[in-house]
Amino acid sequence: MRIGVIGLSFALRPEEEPNSCNKRLAREFERVVALERAEGHHVLGSLQWELALVPMSPRIRKESVKCVVEKHRDGVSYLDSDEVILQSIEAFDRLGGVDEVVLVGNPWIHLQGARSRAKAYGLKVRKRPIRWIGFDKKSSQWQTRGPVRALVYTVGRVISQFVFGRRFGQKRVAS
């Protein structure tokens, strides 16, 4: 079976990447890729740029990482998990497609939302447990500094999407 593994970043320190959360996420990406390969699956990996900065096994890097998502396709919007998933799908399709995907993200709220979005894009999601990633009190993103902030952000996104038809908290990058 062909499995796509998508590594999503969490928290951001523009001048200090990879931050501690993204280092742990990169280790989880490596662990999941190794697990899928040990089960005999062909793995195509995609990483958000912050995770790609973390040194990892040369074998996994060379044989499995096929895509690094560095910026939003429109060149101005915030690079969110949706965009990383969409660019990963495009990369996997160029390489012959995948049967299922495993998402590697922060298991506190972020991962569930990413799995839901991936399903909405027509992907079959293969669930693998992801170890605790934590939060980054020095993150430039307020919603990634702690669990209560992440919950408020998530609830705000859902309500804002329902009431106003747009996302809560997302920023556009200056052009």
* Per-position pLDDT tens, the chain of length 175: 999 999 999 999 999 999 999 999 999 999 999 999 999 999 999 999 999 999 999 999 999 999 999 999 999 999 999 999 999 999 999 999 999 999 999 998 899 999 999 999 999 999 999 999 999 999 999 998 989 888 888 887 778 777 776 554 444 444 3
CA distance 133 to 156: 22
CA distance 89 to 121: 9
Report the predicted TM-score, pTM, of the whole model to 2 decimal places: 0.88
Query: Peptide bond before 129: cis, by omega within 30 degrees of 0?
Result: no
Q: Does domain 2-137 have CATH number 3.30.70?
A: no
- Two structure tokens written together for 40: 């005999």
CA distance 148 to 53: 28
If you ran DSSP here, which 8-state letter would residue 126 be given?
P
For CA atoms 175, 53, 15, 108, the dihedral sign is positive
Residue ranges per domain, the chain? 2-137
SS3 percent helix, strand, coil of the chain, rounded to 5, is 45, 15, 40
- pLDDT number for residue 169: 47
